[in-house]
Amino acid sequence: MSALLEVRDLKKHFPLPSSFFGSNRGFVYALDGVSFTLSKGETLSIVGESGCGKSTLGKTILRLVEPTGGEVLLDGQRIDNLPQSALRQMRRRVQVVFQDPFSSLNPRQRVRDIIGEPIVNFGLASGSELEDRVAALMDKVRLPRDAMHRFPHEFSGGQRQRIGIARALAPGSDLIICDEAVSALDVSVKAQIVNLLSDLQDELGLALLFISHDLAIVEHLTHRVAVMYLGKVVELADRRTLFAAPHHPYTKALLSAVPVPDPTIKRQRVILKGDVPSPINPPTGCRFHTRCPYVFDRCKVEEPLLRATSVPGQVAACHLDVMPAHV
């Protein structure tokens, strides 16, 4: 599979409000060197605790916030430095499904206008052709066609999220960024939306960047998983490898916290001590060393790089038993 999206050493540092005397008080290091690729027809999930930079990553790729450094390439073309006048074509190809399926929809617009707005904005259709395209999109997300004349408040949460997905598909996008797209939904509705995204991906060849903290959903949907901690990717592997043989201590702790629906299964929980450090003043060396149960002196002074482990396709930023990177 060819790389549709390539992120290289992406950084986003938010400046803190200036002091009374106008001096810079520092930065919030929300993203501090994130790199990965995403292929056509692939789902890459971004997981981690709240505040690790998952949503900022999605917004920075979309240019909803401007990057501080690094590169973002779409089909080999850099989009992180495009002028505003040139962003239009990129935004037709890269769309987003937001977390809240209600506040992300205009309550004063009918569904027909919500889904049709991207089509009109990009000049793709008008008149009866526009109506036909909106109706076809309603079919794709499994909503009745007569629902296009209703307002968002007349739908359930799951139905509203289907409207959001239809709007993201409307301009003919190649990549959809799902920012906690199912976290506000009931369990049964989550499964329906995840299955819908999977079916749409198979049908349309979509690439999905799936940002989530729900590892059970991630295990069902994704092809590869990137684990973030304090603005950095600490492990990246295919789904089977990450859930069966996690390498980084933080990944092991995350997976040990996932509930198992069988009370007879006994698992050893990894309980992390302390709080997540402040992204304003991240620790030196490995950022996880203040909570890691396996910390040793090297971790406190030398930052580990993402390198290959003994499992093919798995990379981790950890000083424990890491092999040299493949050439």
* Residues 73-104 pLDDT 10s: 999 999 999 988 888 888 899 999 998 888 89
Q: What is the mean pLDDT of residues 279-297?
A: 92
**Percentage of the residues of the chain whose pLDDT score is greater than 70:** 96
Query: 284-297 burial, b if ≥16 CB within 10 A, otherwise e?
Result: ebbbbbbbbeebee
Lowest mean pLDDT among 80-89, 116-125, 171-180, 227-236: 80-89
Mean pLDDT of the chain: 90
182 confidence band (pLDDT: 50, 70, 90): confident
How does pLDDT run across 1-46, given as a tens digit for each residue? 578 999 999 999 998 887 666 666 789 999 999 999 999 999 999 9
In sequence order, the 6+-apart residues with CB closer than 8 A to the CB of 254 are 47, 48, 49, 215, 227
Q: Which amino acid is at 141?
A: V
As a whole number of angstroms, the distance between CA 138 and CA 144 comes to 7
Residues in a beta bridge with 311: none
pTM, two decimals, is 0.90
Residues in a beta bridge with 210: 45, 178
**What's the confidence (pLDDT) of residue 327?**
27
